[in-house]
Amino acid sequence: MVSWKQLMEDVERCEACGLCRTRTHVVPGGGDVHSPLMFVGEGPGAEEDRQGLPFVGPAGKLLDKMIEAIGVRRQDVYVANVVKCRPPGNRNPTDEEAAACLPFLRQQVALIQPRVIVCLGSVAARHLISPDLRISRDRGEWVVRKNYFFMPTYHPAALLRNPEWKKDSWKDFKSIRDMLRDMDEPLFRG
């Protein structure tokens, strides 16, 4: 397996798909690489592309609040995306772009070894759990694969557009908190 340092170097200089031509910065991910809790979004937006950091724009501000609402600090989780470079105009990444980038996410997961992986929105959930997954139908249900516990839930950008979904999202986040507590993970100690 590659080292974390090597992986980050590979991500930074990747030219495996056309998104490399329009990016300002690559956004590999950020947070605690030893965290039991990992969040996976879709791809960087405008602010993330400017700063080279994941979830720092409006959706990121909401994600911060949701993480803090379950008693966890954002710096204690790891946050990444299916694609590491911004799709122009914030369109969904194509299947080809996702396929070119997913080996990086798989290596991140293999190195971090989180217990719980939260798929934020259908792009992450379809690529990580099942292509047939529908967030409106399947959110909130745990999927266990290879000892990883996956939770599909709404993307925070979708919650900004549809605030009435926040109630269900809160249920999902409480379920995440309870699962990590049951696993006796150290996130809530201290």
Min dist CB 43 to ligand URA, Å, is 6
Cβ distance to ligand URA smaller for residue 50 or 115: 50
Cβ distance to ligand URA smaller for residue 165 or 188: 165
Min dist CB 184 to ligand URA, Å, is 30
Min dist CB 115 to ligand URA, Å, is 22
Which residue shows structure tokens 């993330």?
48
Alpha-carbon distance 77 to 30, whole Å? 8
Alpha-carbon distance 28 to 108, whole Å? 9
Residue 31, strand partner residues:
78
- The first and second tokens of residue 84, run together, are 């590491």
Helix (H) or strand (E) holding 175: helix 166-182
Min dist CB 183 to ligand URA, Å, is 26
Cβ distance to ligand URA smaller for residue 143 or 158: 158
Of 119, 123, 133, nearest to 91 by C-alpha is: 123
Inter-CA distances, 20 with 6, 43, 55, 86, 98, Å = 19, 13, 19, 9, 13
Cβ distance to ligand URA smaller for residue 75 or 181: 75
- The first and second tokens of residue 3, run together, are 């080292």
Residue nearest to ligand URA (CB): 41
Under DSSP, is residue 50 helix (H, G, I), strand (E, B) or coil? helix
Of 11, 98, 84, 14, nearest to 53 by C-alpha is: 84
Question: Under the rule (CB under 6 A), what is the footprint of ligand URA?
Answer: 41-45, 48, 54-55, 57, 59-60, 81, 157
Residue 40, strand partner residues:
80, 119
Cβ distance to ligand URA smaller for residue 52 or 185: 52
Cβ distance to ligand URA smaller for residue 158 or 185: 158
Min dist CB 42 to ligand URA, Å, is 4
Min dist CB 181 to ligand URA, Å, is 27
